[in-house]
């Protein structure tokens, strides 16, 4: 699962010819953690960490700002109320895992169901 942040991190890192381990040493994290960011498995939200990472990649101020914006765009967190029951949570998780397999027609049906539920 790719993210714009992961793609940009990999692009900038390889263009400056530094390894994951080298960047990790500079910013104070592990190479596997950076690999997870590049792979799109996670997207950090800590501004100080993102700035250190952007500086380690030798990005100018404008590029640093864009890099931080990419981190925000790469977030995949959905906040779900604790009031949601276990069955609803299971369905939400199943939908999220299989979202890429849904056709446009399927998405329209889901949207219609949600619109109908809102009107009740």
Higher pLDDT, 79 or 120: 120
- Which residue segment(s) compose the domain that 68 sits in? 4-73
For residue 60, name the pLDDT band (cuts at 50, 70, 90): very high
* This prediction's pTM: 0.64
CB of 74 within 8 A of CB of 38?
A: no
Domain count, the chain: 2
Element (H, E) at 33: helix 31-38
How does DSSP assign 74-112, residue by residue? T-------TTS-HHHHHHHHHHHHTGGG--HHHHHHHHH
Cα separation, 6 vs 30, whole angstroms:
15
CATH of the domain at 17: 1.10.260.40
Q: 78 lies in a domain?
A: no
Q: What is the pLDDT of residues 7-46, one digit of tens each?
A: 999 999 999 999 999 999 999 999 999 999 999 888 898 9
Higher pLDDT, 23 or 91: 23
């Amino acid at each position: 699962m790719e993210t714009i942040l992961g793609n940009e991190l990999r692009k900038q890192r390889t263009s400056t010819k530094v390894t994951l381990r080298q960047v990790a040493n500079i910013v104070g994290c592990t190479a596997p953690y950076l690999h997870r960011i590049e792979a799109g498995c996670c997207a950090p939200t800590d501004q100080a960490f993102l700035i250190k990472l952007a500086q380690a990649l030798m990005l100018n101020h404008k590029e640093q700002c864009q890099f931080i914006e990419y981190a925000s765009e790469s977030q995949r967190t959905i906040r779900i109320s604790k009031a949601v029951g276990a069955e609803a949570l299971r369905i939400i998780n199943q939908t999220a895992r299989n979202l890429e397999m849904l056709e446009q027609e399927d998405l329209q049906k889901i949207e219609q169901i949600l619109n109908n539920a809102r009107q009740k």
